[in-house]
């Protein structure tokens, strides 16, 4: 029945999704050229709120857990698992008070209405995966900026979306580079549960009524680690546990 309902309501959500992107793109463009960056920021928040709320079309009511755990007046390094394009809106919305930016491959900075615009003009780091030096430079610049302004940056350390819902091994370089540039930052593990189940049948149909939740786990203080190289496996371990996934040997790190 859920798959049948997915066939009926997925086309409606897809139209809803892309119409929103097309409508908000010129609004953001106008805002940043003639009004203010704050107007662009507010516009992108409204867009992402509508994208998340629109999931009710396919029977999904996402829940947010753990917002009370977020520290005040600290830059945040939000570390999240990645399985869907829909992983972006909850970051924008949940961490809106911290002006969240992203570390993203440069290809996403072009061709996607609203999303590409926000990545280009919202202060995110668009990195070239073929150029390590360029990637490090962009991440360092972003890290220094969040350190100064006490903002948030989101990184998906799997490097690419998981196609089977099982987390890939986290890559350490991006997070460690951010910590070097933003030494006062706290790491916030963010476990996104249910997006893979929503895409159980691929992009079409969406799995009607999938259970989706966005979970802020206990913040992690980098200063508690004598060896900084142990931080990323520890974060990976915590997110795997929150998602009920098997913890790999490399994740068995204690502090």
**Predicted local distance difference test score (pLDDT) of residue 252:** 46
Q: Determine the structural domain holding residue 115 and report its residue range.
A: 2-251
Residue of 220, 144, 217, 140 lying closest to 174 (CA atoms): 140
Angstrom CA distances, 47 to 32, 43, 82, 153, 224, stand at 15, 6, 20, 19, 38
8 Å CB contact between 197 and 84: no
pTM value is: 0.91
**Predicted local distance difference test score (pLDDT) of residue 254:** 42
Phi, psi of 81 (to 5 degrees): -75, 165
**Predicted local distance difference test score (pLDDT) of residue 162:** 77
Number of domains into which the chain is organized = 1
- Reading the block at residue 176, the tokens are 């460690």
**Predicted local distance difference test score (pLDDT) of residue 250:** 54
Residue for token digits 């819902």? Answer: 165
Q: Helix axis angle, 173-181 relative to 132-149, nearest 10°?
A: 40
**Predicted local distance difference test score (pLDDT) of residue 70:** 95
**Predicted local distance difference test score (pLDDT) of residue 209:** 96
Q: For the chain (length 255 residues), average pLDDT per consecutive 10?
A: 93 97 93 87 95 96 95 95 90 95 90 89 87 90 96 93 83 94 97 92 92 97 92 96 80 44
CATH number at residue 43: 3.40.1130
Residue of 85, 68, 70 lying closest to 192 (CA atoms): 85
């Amino acid at each position: 029945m859920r798959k049948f309902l997915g066939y009926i309501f997925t086309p409606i959500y897809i139209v809803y999704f892309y119409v929103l992107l097309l409508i908000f793109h010129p609004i953001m463009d106008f805002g940043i050229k003639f009004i203010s960056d704050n107007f662009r920021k507010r516009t992108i928040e409204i867009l992402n709120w509508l994208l998340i709320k629109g999931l009710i079309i396919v029977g999904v009511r996402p829940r947010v857990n753990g917002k009370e755990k977020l520290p005040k007046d600290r830059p945040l390094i939000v570390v999240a698992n990645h399985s869907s394009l829909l992983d972006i809106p909850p970051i924008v919305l949940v961490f809106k008070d911290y002006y969240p930016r992203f570390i993203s491959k440069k290809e996403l900075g072009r061709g996607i209405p609203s999303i590409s615009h926000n990545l280009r003009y919202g202060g995110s780091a668009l990195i070239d995966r073929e150029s390590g030096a360029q990637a490090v430079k962009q991440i360092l610049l972003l890290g220094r900026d969040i350190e100064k302004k006490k903002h948030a940056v989101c990184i998906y350390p799997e490097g690419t979306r998981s196609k089977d819902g099982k987390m890939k091994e986290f890559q350490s370089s991006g997070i460690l580079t951010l910590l070097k540039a933003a030494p006062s930052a706290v790491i916030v593990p963010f476990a996104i549960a249910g997006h893979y189940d929503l895409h159980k049948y691929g992009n079409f149909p969406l799995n009607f009524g999938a259970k989706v939740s966005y979970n802020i786990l206990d913040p992690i203080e980098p200063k508690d680690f004598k060896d900084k190289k142990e931080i990323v496996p520890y974060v990976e371990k915590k997110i795997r546990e929150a998602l009920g996934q098997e913890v790999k040997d490399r994740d068995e790190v204690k502090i």
